[in-house]
Structure 1
């Protein structure tokens, strides 16, 4: 097995990555395969090119992209930020209406879900961070974004492949939607910290940054819960690191 995430398990079969959904969804799988074809045409960095889809078993296969997941790389080279900035600008301005579904999950719903998640993981959150986590969950969530852009929507460092000089691939597009632009920045904020993401945010409006911080905090709690449920030490370490700059 190559790895296991929230929604999928991935296996290497020869030069193919075979990804199997934990809960098969014919419509979602077909949608993702069509979307990847469109993304490959506009992305400045490589994305998976689908070889075949097995709808019955929730299986999608693509040629293995070269590189190492950024989660396994000790330091983030400056080339990563430059290429991510280009990638985000390109995808967020792409016209994907009709191909991508629209995400209408509100910040209030995210906050409520995070409250439930925290109940599950509270005993595992370091004492130092508990007061700030609990204050965050008691606070009002930000207002929803009036804007929807096409976004990867799960742009964590486990989905970014690098080879030391360039990004060699961005994988796992199963959550891609027309959504709040803050989501892509939020996943990177969770994994890389504020100073790094401030460079990527550039001239984005202050409300985008505020929502990125909000979602990053929700994501960190979600990561910890996933790591504890699935026995994933990398995700657990990542979540604990994120708490140090998010709370």
Structure 2
């Protein structure tokens, strides 16, 4: 029998690997349904769905390896990062799905959530006040009107697989929906600022890519994530992770 490996696990969801099969268990059945539908609509390579029995989704392993992970070195070449940028552009150019995704929250709602979280970070002593205040100002750039696009919503580099310079698949679509294209670009390059130029080169022209907005999303996403990560057993203070992303804006 193949060994069962826990890929990630917390109170909301867990992913297990058994041989070449990944089993995703999600406490939110609607989120699993969103993932299945989003993969059926996405114009980029996605894993083969083997079966879906809520709250469990079984998918096949993808060929290749990820481009890296947050807090670790990138294993991909500049050409691979550019290929990922081109794949992201293909997704963003597709007709967006009818439902809002994680990248589609309104500026008003995000600003309120961000202000509450910044207050909690300072009050609890998790982060120093000057670090929070500086990044709150940087995050303001992301809080602006945007044209809806087909967004992945959680496009971490660990969710994009490549074989050489070819993108072989994108995983974890549970947060997909209508949203801000620059949120995806920011999430993908979070902690790997040195590859932003490669990604933009592959992404191409025709959409206004405002670097200040991407910086804003880096700060906003990191501020909102720190306490959740700590409370769920992850370490945002590890080298290259969220707290270092916030420090870089200082």
TM range, normalised to the smaller chain? 0.7 to 0.9
Q: Give the whole-Å Cα distance in 1 for the aligned partners of 2:238 and 2:149.
A: 30
Number of the residue aligned with 1:179: 179
Q: 1:140 to 1:242 in 2, by over 3 A?
A: closer
Distance (whole Å) between structure 2 residues aligned to residue 197 and residue 6 of structure 1: 32
Gaps of 5+ in 2: 1-5
Task: Evaluate the alpha carbon distance shift between residue 136 and residue 74 of structure 1 in structure 2; reply closer, same or farther with a 3 A threshold.
Answer: closer
Q: Which residue of 2 aligns with 1:64?
A: 61
1:138-153 map, 5 Å: 141-142=140-141, 143-153=143-153
- Report the equivalent of 1:8: 13
Considering Cα pairs closer than 8 Å and 6+ residues apart, tell me whether 1 or 2 has the greater RCO: 2
Which residue of 2 is the match for residue 213 of structure 1? 215
User: Which residue is 2:23 aligned to?
Assistant: 18
Matching residue within 191, 200, 224 for 1:222: 224
Q: Return the structure number with greater helix share.
A: 1
Q: How far is the alpha carbon of 1:229 from its aligned partner?
A: 0.8
The Cα shift of 1:163 comes to 5.0
In the aligned structure 1, how far is the partner of 2:183 from the partner of 2:15? 24
* Paired residues of 1:216 and 1:246 also in contact (CA < 8 A): no
SS at match of 1:228: helix
SS at match of 1:141: helix
* Alignment root-mean-square deviation, CA: 2.9
Partner in structure 1 of residue 133 of structure 2? 134
- Note if contact 1:224-1:236 (Cα within 8 Å) is conserved in structure 2: no
Mapping of residues 1-247 of structure 1, within 5 Å: 1-4=6-9, 7-21=12-26, 23-25=27-29, 27-39=30-42, 42-43=43-44, 46-55=45-54, 58-69=55-66, 70-71=68-69, 74-75=73-74, 76-98=76-98, 100-101=99-100, 104-122=104-122, 123-125=125-127, 127=128, 130-137=129-136, 141-142=140-141, 143-162=143-162, 165-193=165-193, 195-201=194-200, 203=205, 204-205=207-208, 208-233=210-235, 236-237=238-239, 238-247=241-250
Distance apart, 1:166 and its partner CA: 4.2
Q: CA deviation at 1:212?
A: 2.1
Deviation at 1:66, TM superposition (A): 3.6
- Paired residues of 1:189 and 1:212 also in contact (CA < 8 A): no
Q: Output the CA distance in 1 between the equivalents of 2:224 and 2:94.
A: 29
Query: Per-residue displacement from partner, 1:155-202 (whole Å, max 9, x unpaired)?
Result: 112322345554443210101111111111121342212x53244345
